[in-house]
Chain A
Amino acid sequence: MNAIGLHINGVGAVSAAGWSSEELLRAVRDKVELPVTNCPRPGAERPWPCPVRTVPPAPPEKQVRHPRFRRVSAISRYAAAACLEALKDAGFDTPPPRLGILFVMMNGCVNYTGRFYQEVLDNPAQASPLIFPETVFNAPASHIAALLGADGAVTTIIGNSNAIMEALDMAAVWLSCGVCDHCLVVGAEECDWLSAEALTYYHEAHIATEGAGALLVSATGKGPSIQRIAGPLPFHSWKERGELIPQLALPASILIDDHNGIAKHDAAEAAAWSQLTFQARHSPKKLLGESMGASAALQLVLATLESRDQKTSVAVSMPGCNTAAYACVLG
């Protein structure tokens, strides 16, 4: 796996904890209880609870002022704020030339997609041509590229909750082939009633959330590097997943795990890592909820911050949900 050696030189995050990676770290360290609301649904009320933890309103300094962002979906706003923070964190006041962008998601622009499809069902002749382009999976990546003037390689990857590991692998390929000098790897997701409801079909205790985590990666730099990777461990069933997860356990000083507080889901992962001891352990999903395509990105942001702050190694457990499991160690 050639993402080993990649340096994470800057990070940024938007989450239910706030519009910065610092707020995310503080919330996770202090185990802050974040507010939960019941997700509203158009039409009739649903007869079961559908809790969500949404991102709070953006502070003025985090609002992106660019013509492309006049009517973009929330996912683009979250990703833009996270990317700008990651660039600044890496010491770039302006975006560097030869910047690649890899955007990872599972659901994408679900709000506009649902809205547009409802318009189609209501009256196809009046479906809005302004909304449709925003439903396309790579619209957010295109907006970020326009914002940053990144006119080279820009790609959107759809995948499992840990697909950011595939994106990091691709970033390493790009860097080693000379496609770019630096690469922003961002995982983002937005909440809507459809995806929040879908999550409750997996387990009624799931809480959907949203946000974005961005990593500015380069071949060299002062940021922590990816030192070890376990995976991909492909699985085709939940049973296989459980059998493979023990291979994820990598020693480190701190662990950022994938626990969401639902015992049935956490059991295999808990058993896998139980043989190892850690100075500290964080479970961001217990605090935030399930952000799907953004979840592993937020874990990696936290791991980078902890590694930098504590000057130690941090393991990240990303067992995934429907294709492959990963873990990695930053240091």
Chain B
Amino acid sequence: MKSTAEAPPPDQTEFAVRIREAKSRVPHSSVSPPPRFLFLVPDSNLQRIAITGAGIVSPLGIGWKANEASFEADRMAFRPVPPELFGVEGFVAKTAGIVDLPPKVPMPIKTCYADRGSVMLMLALREALAQSGRSTMEGIDAVIIGTSAGAMSLGETYFETAVSDPGRHRRQLSRAEHYQPQRQMNEIAAELGWRGPIIIVSNACASGANAIGWGVEMIRSGRAKRVLAGGYDALAKLVFAGFDSLKALAPSGIPRPFDAARDGLALGEGAAVMILEAEEVRQADALADVTGYATATDLHHLTQPDPLGNAAIRTMTQATLQSGLTPADIDYINSHGTGTPFNDVAEAQAIAAWAGEATSRIAVSSTKSAMGHLLGGAGAVEAVICLMALRGQWMPASLNVREVDPAVKFDLVRTFRRAKVEHALTNSFGFGGTNATLVMKRRSA
């Protein structure tokens, strides 16, 4: 951006011209009012953005291979929450998707202050760096990480210690300090040889997708050439209790997204990161491209989606438009698909409204059915699952469906499927109404 003295008249700036062009190209939809919010639109001059590395840690396994094998086997990862994490006495739900962390992960943070989520993030980071041929974060311009709870377990310990005794306590300072996610990430960054801005995005369950999306926009705006972006969250008692109090957790512990009798979600934990590079500076083989990203805010309610899914329609429309695609071009959607009655029907209706006649040809699944809802990590983990699907030419299943909800008009993938996947889309919707959609395109090997 230029300073005032150098700036052209307001209506002649590159920005103003681009917006005028964008407005002229946005189609009016019959199912929702024309979007008030415009995003980048198809443009041959848009920066091509490659994914050159990705790491994933989920309840299904640590690393790309373990997760792929679990999807192939239609495996689920739910089990009782172990008491060493937290007690579940008094809660309706008793299970979650839990990551089996290796006994010793080298961390720059003292063990008692290293949050589980940070350990997962570190593992995902190392895998992503290795995949892009790096051992450090040198050369990265910016880091954007999404989380909804940060190091909540440290906050819980701080609280419990403080209420147990009004005196001063050793370690409270370090707990307060390491409770802050930017502090945890800063220590990880130092270990991996990187100095630069760390942006922690906290948009609830859309945090990870937003982090990747903002990474894309940083590159497209010229602000950065290489961004490390992703998201994480670890299980924490406060969050578990919160979802339990809302009666959002499936009493059986088994989430059934898009089932007619679904009764709630299961929580999970995990982390995923991507290395995004501008094509002209790309230093490693591209795994796929991010071609579209859009975000919008659903103003309907703090925790419930607009029943018609209007914000989701807007983000899917804008993200595909930005990719130069129509809904019919999308082969696979990794849905937000939590398994709650409100979410799934709104998302199913949004997909139908957005895709129109193409709806029945689009394959959709919810991987939350296998690993649970990873909250701040969900958007990033599900983006990496889309990347894996593009690379492996397969689609993961929506498990546990007994009778498909009548709102579902798309091709619900109910068992692991080998299939052509050229373009994949992932939706993330969060508390507070943050909706985000990412579109990715396969790169030929």
Q: Which A residues have a C-beta under 8 Å from some C-beta of B?
A: 2-7, 41-48, 68, 97-98, 106, 113-114, 116-118, 120-121, 123-125, 127-129, 132-139, 141-143, 145-146, 149-160, 163, 166, 169-170, 172-181, 194, 197-198, 201-202, 219-220, 225, 227, 232, 234, 236, 322-324
Answer whether A170 and B199 are a contact pair too, CB < 8 Å, given A41-B166, A151-B37, A201-B172. yes
Residue of A nearest to B241 (CB): A120
* B202 x A156 contact (CB < 8 A): yes
> In the assembled complex, how far is the CB of residue B150 from the closest CB belonging to chain A, in whole angstroms?
7
Report the separation of the CA atoms of residues A169 and B224 in the bound assembly, to the nearest whole angstrom. 11
The contact sample of 9 A-B pairs, CB cut-off 8 A, is A42-B163, A132-B245, A132-B246, A136-B148, A145-B432, A151-B297, A156-B201, A175-B15, A194-B158
* In the complex, chain B residues whose CB is within 8 Å of the CB of A41: 166
* B431 x A136 contact (CB < 8 A): yes
* B238 x A113 contact (CB < 8 A): yes
Answer whether A157 and B242 are a contact pair too, CB < 8 Å, given A47-B166, A225-B4. no
* A234 x B15 contact (CB < 8 A): no
One of B50-58, B189-197, B272-280 contacting the partner: B189-197
* B182 x A323 contact (CB < 8 A): yes
* Binary per-residue interface labels of chain B (214-243) against chain A in the complex, 1 for a CB within 8 Å, 0 otherwise: 100110111100000000000001100111
* A173 x B217 contact (CB < 8 A): yes
* B10 x A177 contact (CB < 8 A): no
Task: Report which of B15, B91, B190, B202 forms a contact with A236, defined as CB distance below 8 A.
Answer: B190
One of B96-104, B173-181, B337-345, B415-423 contacting the partner: B173-181
**Any A CB within 8 A of the CB of B247:** yes
Report the separation of the CA atoms of residues A47 and B176 in the bound assembly, to the nearest whole angstrom. 20
> In the assembled complex, how far is the CB of residue A204 from the closest CB belonging to chain B, in whole angstroms?
10
* Additional A-B contact list (8), CB under 8 Å, known A47-B166, A173-B214, A219-B13: A5-B2, A5-B7, A135-B238, A142-B433, A145-B297, A151-B299, A159-B200, A323-B182
* In the complex, chain A residues whose CB is within 8 Å of the CB of B201: 155-157
* B159 x A114 contact (CB < 8 A): yes
* B90 x A121 contact (CB < 8 A): no
Report the separation of the CA atoms of residues A311 and B379 in the bound assembly, to the nearest whole angstrom. 46
**Any A CB within 8 A of the CB of B73:** no
* In the complex, chain B residues whose CB is within 8 Å of the CB of A68: 302
Report the separation of the CA atoms of residues A277 and B336 in the bound assembly, to the nearest whole angstrom. 56
Q: Which B residues have a C-beta under 8 Å from some C-beta of A?
A: 1-4, 7, 10, 13, 15, 18-19, 22, 36-40, 89-91, 147-148, 150, 155-156, 158-160, 162-163, 165-168, 172-173, 176-177, 180-183, 186-187, 189-190, 195-204, 210, 214, 217-218, 220-223, 237-238, 241-247, 295-299, 302-303, 311, 430-434
* B162 x A197 contact (CB < 8 A): yes
Answer whether A201 and B176 are a contact pair too, CB < 8 Å, given A173-B223, A178-B18, A178-B40. yes
> In the assembled complex, how far is the CB of residue A20 from the closest CB belonging to chain B, in whole angstroms?
27
* B432 x A160 contact (CB < 8 A): no
Q: Across chains A and B, which 5 residue pairs bring their CB atoms closest together, nearest first?
A: A152-B37, A142-B432, A124-B90, A5-B1, A132-B242
* In the complex, chain B residues whose CB is within 8 Å of the CB of A127: 241-242, 244-245
